Amino acid sequence: MAQPVLPLSDVRIIAFSQFGAGPFGVMQLADLGAEVIKIEDPTTGGDVSRSVPPFRQGNDSLYYQSFNRNNRSITLNLRAEGARDVLHDLVRVSDGVFSNLRGDQPERLGLTYERLAPVNPAIVCCSLSGFGMSGPRRAEPGYDYLFQAYAGYMSLTGDPSTPPAKSGVSVVDLSGGFAAALGLLAGILQARRTGRGCDVDVALLDVAVSMLAYVATFALNRDYDPPRLPDSSHPTLYPSQVFATQDGYLVIMVAKEKFWPPLCRALERPDLIDDPRFDSFDSRFRHREELVSELGGVFRTKPTAEWLSRLTGKVPCAPVNSVAEALAEPQVLARKMIIETENPAFGTMRHVGTPIKFPGQERQHYDPAPDLGAGTEIILRDYLHYSPERISRLRAAGAI
Known catalytic membership, residue 234 = yes
CA distances from 218 to 69, 226, 228, 281 (A): 41, 9, 15, 18
CB atoms < 10 A from the CB of 222, how many?
8
Residue at 97: amino acid letter? V
CB atoms < 10 A from the CB of 94, how many?
21
Distance CA 248, CA 202 (A): 40
DSSP for 272-324 reads GTT-TTTSSHHHHHHTHHHHHHHHHHHHTTS-HHHHHHHHTTTS-EEE---HH
CA distances from 25 to 89, 206, 225, 357, 369 (A): 24, 16, 33, 16, 14
CB 67 within 8 A of CB 42: no
Distance CA 243, CA 251 (A): 6
CA 362 to chain centroid, in Å, comes to 20
Considering just the CA atoms, what is the radius of gyration of the chain in Å? 25
CA distances from 394 to 76, 99, 242, 373, 382 (A): 9, 23, 60, 13, 16
CA distances from 210 to 31, 176, 275 (A): 26, 11, 39
- Reported residue count of the chain is 400
Query: 49 Cβ partners below 8 Å, 6+ apart?
Result: 18, 19, 20, 23, 61, 63, 64, 67, 68
Query: 105 Cβ partners below 8 Å, 6+ apart?
Result: 99, 111, 129
Query: 191 Cβ partners below 8 Å, 6+ apart?
Result: 95, 122, 123, 124, 197, 198
CB 123 within 8 A of CB 187: no
Question: Which one from 234, 287, 351, 385 is the annotated catalytic residue?
Answer: 234
CB atoms < 10 A from the CB of 145, how many?
14
Q: Which residues are catalytic?
A: 234
